[in-house]
Structure 1
Amino acid sequence: MGLVVLGAGGRLGRLIRDRMPVAARWLTRADADVLDVGALTAVLAPGDCVMCLAGVTPAGSGDMQDNVRIAAAVLDAAAAARAGRVFLFSTAAVYGALPGPLTEDGPIAPLSPYGQAKVDMEHVAATHAHPSTVLRLGNVAGADAILGGWRSGFQLDVLADGTTPRRSYIGPGALARVLATLAQTPDVPPLMNLAAPGAVAMGDLLDAAGLAWTARPATGNTLANVTLDTTLLCRFTQMKPDDSTAQGIVADWQKGVPA
């Protein structure tokens, strides 16, 4: 089995490429247009496991519905090439402001066009004949708005109880390790949350990284807690205790940050 990673030039691809513990072919849009079924079919081989990191995020200016079109194109190409399972990346944003822990078989309630586009993408995967797994990804250290988006003068919402919002996170090294395991695991479920178990406070992450921040009062739009239930994921891959701590997540991220 070969592992093919699409979207290698994006932020997430750049974060995990050098951390992936198995060999893979890393393809950017210069290698194959992810909206072109013919071009994608040409770069896939029978049996290939395909991970599609390509997509549009709120940080960009693209059409959110391209996330749906990309998924459809990749699945069609994989079917035409007789490739193996396709892994597509969704987001914790599909859960909106629902209380957690958030489970794969529970309700979803996206609040943004991005979250809705990912719901639409999930529907494409669920109704396509080619085997696929959708991974609802939590925050990835370095590709997030806190560690990755930190700038001098950074402000962070503080809740009425004096704490900062909590989120499910995973470090890029841990993510690469998990993806390598899933790529080599048969009979992976069609939908899984992907994060380290539990959740961490955003302020704790910044403190662990030694990044200064200023408190500002939380508003009614601040989500206090987004915790993904990772019970299903942990049946297929082993997580380390440090994968879930602010110190461990930051240390993982900093291993890949140039000195």
Structure 2
Amino acid sequence: MTSTQKGDFMRVLVLGATGRLGTMLRWAWGRAGIGLEPIWQSRAERPGAAWARCDILGDPAGLAALCTCADVIVTLAGVTPASGRDMGGNTDLALAVQRAAGGRPHLLASSAAVYGRAEGLCRDSDAVMPAAPYGVAKHAMEQAVLATGGPVTCLRIGNVGGADAILGQAEQGGALVLDQFPDGRTPRRSYIGPATLAGVLAGLAHVAGQGRALPEILNVAAPGTVEMGALLEAADHPWTPRAAPETAIAEVVLDITTLSRFTRPDPASGTAPVLVAEWRAFQEAARP
């Protein structure tokens, strides 16, 4: 019986709560009632009853004990290229959590990078051919954790506004150069804003915590695509066009048909103005 069935808030353990996505989630879930009681994991001691200190790889017993406090587990912890660490650590982290979960629903952050250089529509049922090391590592993580047979859903998350290369670089200042295709358009990609992502994760946590089975793989993005040029223009950030090389990919869109069976992002949430508004709201809240 879940805590929701007992009339209480559903308890959701968020592993990796101090990373970029975890920080966005804390901001968004703290803005309004979501019917969830989050437990935020950190490797360091932090003030507040909602925080729990635990080393995911270094303290398996502590992690297992922490998982018993939750109805659903969300793993945002991972190794990125910027860390300089062995990205095989993504598999180690995912398996450690899966072992500790004890059969509880586990929402595991993967990445759209597993689709590699695919162009056009990417369905979560498609075979994938990751190209870059990060995509290769995330795909290996998916395969390893799905082989355990436990309840786990790998979330292939698209570009997150503010944690992506475009708005992320714009935040640092300086002009950006974008590929421009013969039709005058810049690359189009699937995006999702911080608040919309948090809403999707909350919706999936409710579904999983109530005992409804989720698919093993889910694409996570806002509907449609957004032009990178439109995104920068909405952010009032300068950019310079250059002729797109033949190898440039004009459009990559994550098909969210399966996701929409469980939670439906607002149709406008993938537009440049909404993405930028969510990013700026997060930025404002994150300022010291």
Q: Give the structure-1-normalised TM-score.
A: 0.93
Cα distance in 1 for partners of 2:28, 2:191 equals 17
User: How far apart, in 1, do the equivalents of 2:69 and 2:215 lie?
Assistant: 21
What CA distance in whole angstroms lies between the structure 1 residues aligned with 2:162 and 2:26?
A: 13
Whole-Å Cα distance in 2 between the matches of residues 238 and 11 of structure 1?
23
Partner Cα distance (2:161, 2:82) in 1 = 15
- Answer with 57-66 or 156-165: which moved more: 156-165
**Structure 1 segment 52-67 matched on structure 2, within 5 A:** 52-67=75-90
Q: Equivalent residue for 1:209?
A: 235
Structure 1 residue 224: Cα displacement = 2.0
Stretch of structure 1 that moved more, 204-213 or 38-47: 38-47
CA shift, 1:236, in A, is 0.7
Shift of 1:110: 0.4
SS in 1 for 2:167: coil
Residues 146-161 of structure 1: matches in 2 within 5 Å? 146-150=166-170, 151-161=173-183
Match of 1:111 among 131, 134, 149: 131
Counterpart pick for 2:257 among 217, 228, 231: 231
Instruction: Tell me, yes or no, if the aligned pair for 2:63 and 2:97 is still in contact at 8 Å.
Output: yes
Distance across 1 between alignment mates of 2:136 and 2:278: 31
1:159: Cα distance to partner?
2.5
Structure-1 residue corresponding to 2:155: 135
Change (3 A) 1:242 1:129: same
> In the alignment, which of 4, 25, 47 is matched to residue 13 of structure 2?
4
Q: What CA RMSD, in Å, does the superposition of the two structures yield over aligned residues?
A: 1.6
- The structure number with the bigger radius of gyration is 2
The 3 A distance-change label for structure 1 pair 162 and 59 is farther
- Mapped partners of 1:255, 1:107: distance in 2: 37
Match of 1:178 in 2: 200
Alpha-carbon contact 2:11-2:38 (below 8 Å) kept: yes
Asked if the contact 1:169–1:195 (Cα under 8 Å) also holds between the matched residues in 2, the reply is: yes
Q: Deviations over 1:11-38 (max 9, x none)?
A: 1111221212333011122221222322
Mapped to 1, the partners of 2:240 and 2:65 lie a distance apart of: 50
Which sections of structure 2, spanning at least 5 residues, go unmatched? 1-9, 45-52
Structure 1 residue 42 displacement after superposition: 2.7
Alpha carbons of structure 1 residues 158 and 59: separation in structure 2 relative to 1, 3 Å: farther
Quickly say closer, same or farther: Cα 1:138–1:174, change in 2 above 3 A: same
Shift of the alpha carbon at 1:46? 5.4
C-alpha spacing 1:215/1:59, structure 2 compared with 1 (3 Å) = farther
Residue 217 of structure 1: CA displacement?
3.0
Code of the residue aligned with 2:152 in structure 1: it is: S
The CA deviation at 1:59 is 2.6
Residues 133 and 188 in structure 1, CA contact (< 8 A), matched pair in contact too: yes
Q: Is 1:35–1:70's contact at 8 Å kept on the other side of the alignment?
A: yes
AA partner of residue 174 (structure 1): T
Query: Is contact 2:268–2:274 with CA below 8 Å preserved after alignment?
Result: yes
Partner of 2:165, secondary structure, is: coil
**Structure 1 counterpart of 2:95, which letter?**
A
Q: Report sequence identity in percent.
A: 45
The Cα shift of 1:157 comes to 2.1
Deviates more, 1:210-219 or 1:138-147: 210-219
With normalisation by structure 2, the TM-score equals 0.84
Query: 2:119–2:250: 8 Å Cα contact kept in structure 1?
Result: no
Q: Is the 8 A contact 1:15 1:142 kept in 2?
A: no
Q: Which amino acid aligns with 2:192?
A: I
Q: Say if 1:94 and 1:118, in contact at 8 Å, map to a contact too.
A: yes
Matched positions, count: 256
The unaligned stretches of length 5 or more in structure 1 are none
Which range moved further: 67-76 or 219-228?
A: 219-228
